[in-house]
Amino acid sequence: MWFSQWDMGSAVWEGKEKSKKTYENSPHRFVEEWDTPILCIHSEKDYRVVVSQRIAAFNAARMKGVAAELLYFPDENHWVVKAQNGMLWQRTFFRWLRRWLE
């Protein structure tokens, strides 16, 4: 939560213009327009985006019939640094690109 407050320059409830603009452009407000496949990669210890938001995005895409995949690392933070996790991240990411871009 600290990161979003830092990025916006204030807490959401303080009503600054940047906070309002961030909310107006929040992905949750545009779910009805989603039609592009989505790969959600998340680590439990990444506090920039709480895991519930990532899972909500994944679920919303699936409920709309949009191809979605979720890769979750319970033991990593913003940077995936453990060797096995890094290999899985890379394999998953590049397989996804091949599937949807070729």
Average pLDDT, the chain: 88
Q: What's the pTM value of the predicted model, to 2 decimals? A: 0.79
User: Is residue 27 located within the same domain as residue 74?
Assistant: no
User: Is residue 51 located within the same domain as residue 95?
Assistant: yes
Domain hosting 20: range is 1-33
pLDDT value at residue 1: 56
Q: Band of the pLDDT at 63, cuts 50, 70, 90?
A: very high
pLDDT at residue 14 tops 80: no
- Backbone torsion region of residue 65, taken as left when φ is above 0, otherwise alpha when ψ lies between -120 and 50, otherwise beta: left
- Token pair belonging to 44: 């439990």
| CB-count exposure of residue 21 (10 Å: 0-12, 13-18, 19+) | exposed
Side-chain half-sphere exposure of 84, counting CA atoms within 13 A: 2
- Which residues are 68's β-sheet partners? 38
* Domain count within the chain: 2
